[in-house]
A and B are shown apart, each in its own frame.
Chain A
């Protein structure tokens, strides 16, 4: 395309070989995929390939979730490879999931031959059209010569700015055509220039506001994980003496065991965090989209606060919450600039004022009601609590599916490091946790990886047990089995006249399923079984299902009903709905 390209090989390679060479250039070592007609040339090239390890999943959706898990633990882009038509359409949920939560993926889809596109050929799907609204960008490769440039651009776009998934659709004939492999040195995308450095004036205005504030709160979002800004966040919170609450996506970006941590806010967040945000006078939000699950009723959200919002994606700013000081930039750079500004100038902090605010918040915190469990049956909360206590020193990665178990896990797991709590936040994808855990275990082979699941959601990608067994990926699935789609049932109980419409769900005998697949299966029905079973599960270093039979009527509290202000919290079953 231009003179900056250097010629690295003179031999001609096929598109399929070029594809693998490009992955090598991008440092990709492991990919998740599923073969099919139009990408057979790639699988042919993979046959003798010693630099890419391919993991054969059992459903394409799982390939994409696994790639996202891989990305979440490593910070590098995850890669999935699938065939055209159904292979590609099966990926949509995975792509959308990564798009909402902002993790870098490059998903390669096969496409029917260029001359057949548009003719309703066998296994044809317009994947460019279909994925347009759920990925950061997508490409249809039209000439084998463009393949290296497109792949380089795809990885660049996926990993820069707000990270996200990029789809590259490769027609069959492109993969078998051949040309010289030329790897471009640079990426030229005039329409794509993410802004990394916040405006200095805005930064000093924000700092002034935070210093003067009497009741400041920081909301830490997932953007802090993406930009690795944990250290800067901690320093700034310490220096300015400001409490920090985190979103679900930001668990661990600020140590949840620290005294200034308010833990998670939002619909099922800590009510003292919700109170703090509602009553603050300055709200400093970093790397969050202000999703409705954390804002509740927008009109009542931090009404009296001046709001400072740092985000690398300009679209996040003023989308849901009206912002007083917008700062478009990378969280790490902006927080670093604020720290420098603070250190080099004489900003005054009134520690007593800030301390009394912390004390006020602690007063709310101390009013926390004791969780009561009156049933004979095992409480899911007890199970997750014990699991946490037993494994916390092993530095495990927790993944979750979506539902009650996810919220209990988020509430009970105290994360002191990022990339330790992996969950589908934005899209809320049931079936995400297991394949994501698989991707994590592939990326970090000695890591203890536990998927906390529900009996509904585990069935959405249960087939991945076969993958785990084949490659001996020792993911532990703790299935909180209450025989219901618990979160939906919970809404029906309070909001839909206890009409449990289609939420009672049966499942197989999970122990037998595990054994049939060649994995290990355990069952917990009593509190005293919890620790011994977990111990065995960890020690066996095999893929594991633990069927934990729990009370079917336990509810997740605190709970802010959708549309309510976030300080209007239900704390227990006895709270009336008004």
Chain B
């Protein structure tokens, strides 16, 4: 890891109880850690949820503290810094682009290259749905920006490890 302050995606397996997201996000704000994105949803097993947080601006010490502080929360079962293990990260975006006549074929071409779908069309706009890793999403947005982005909605990152270490809530 050459760049110390790159964004980290941290995957947190928790007991799915009331207030758990605010418990986790409150820890970040209370200790001055940043949240670039946060997603939370149930896992395949009832009663457990996974919270994926992308954090920026932290050096290794900060990331170490974040991991430890998260582990200290009672309903937190497991914390994995996806940057530390082999993992796959994805983000979904919905992007409404101004579709002037002369730009329409270009939008379609870009969508095709990135494997994005046109999920809605109006007289003036195309709405694209794209899924990709950070680099792909960034490039796509950069290419669409000069054409005219009307609205952009991002899911925030989710990630999964490639080994089997983090796949089951019953791992322990």
Contact = CB atoms under 8 A, between A and B. Distances in A.
Interface of A: 128-129, 132-133, 136-137, 140, 142, 157, 189-192, 313-315, 318-319
Contact of A192 (B22, B27, B69, B74): B74
29 contacts: A129-B19, A132-B19, A132-B22, A132-B23, A132-B26, A133-B26, A133-B27, A137-B73, A137-B74, A140-B18, A140-B19, A142-B18, A157-B74, A189-B74, A190-B77, A191-B15, A191-B73, A191-B74, A191-B75, A191-B77, A192-B74, A313-B72, A314-B68, A314-B72, A315-B65, A315-B68, A318-B61, A318-B64, A318-B65
Contacts of A314: 68, 71-72
Contacts of A318: 61, 64-65
B23 A315 contact: no
Interface in B44-69: 61, 64-65, 68-69
A210 B19 CA distance: 46
Contact of A315 (B14, B26, B69, B77): B69
Contacts, number: 41
B76 interface: yes
B172 interface: yes
A132 B19 CA distance: 10
Given A129-B22, A132-B23, A132-B26, A190 B68 contact: no
B146 interface: no
Interface residues of B, number: 22
B60 to A, nearest CB: 10
A157 B74 CA distance: 9
Contacts of B74: 136-137, 157, 189, 191-192
Contacts of B26: 132-133
A192 B75 CA distance: 8
Overall SS of chain B's interface: helix
Contacts of B69: 315
Interface string B8-39: 00000011001100110011001000000000
B153 to A, nearest CB: 28
Nearest to A134: B30
A412 B153 CA distance: 64
A40 to B, nearest CB: 26
A189 B76 CA distance: 10
A157 B77 CA distance: 15
A287 to B, nearest CB: 16
A190 B22 CA distance: 20
Given A191-B74, A191-B76, A191-B77, A133 B30 contact: yes
A296 to B, nearest CB: 19
A51 to B, nearest CB: 29
What are the 3 closest A-B residue pairs judged by CB atoms, nearest first? A133-B30, A315-B68, A137-B74
User: Which of B15, B23, B69, B72 has the largest count of A CB atoms less than 10 A from its CB?
Assistant: B72
A128 B73 contact: no
Nearest to A153: B74
A159 to B, nearest CB: 14
Given A129-B19, A190-B77, A191-B74, 10 more contacts: A132-B23, A137-B74, A140-B18, A140-B19, A157-B74, A189-B74, A315-B65, A315-B69, A315-B72, A318-B64
A315 B76 CA distance: 15
Nearest to A190: B77
A313 B19 CA distance: 24
A137 B15 CA distance: 14
Contacts of A133: 26-27, 30
A313 B69 CA distance: 10
A513 B76 CA distance: 50
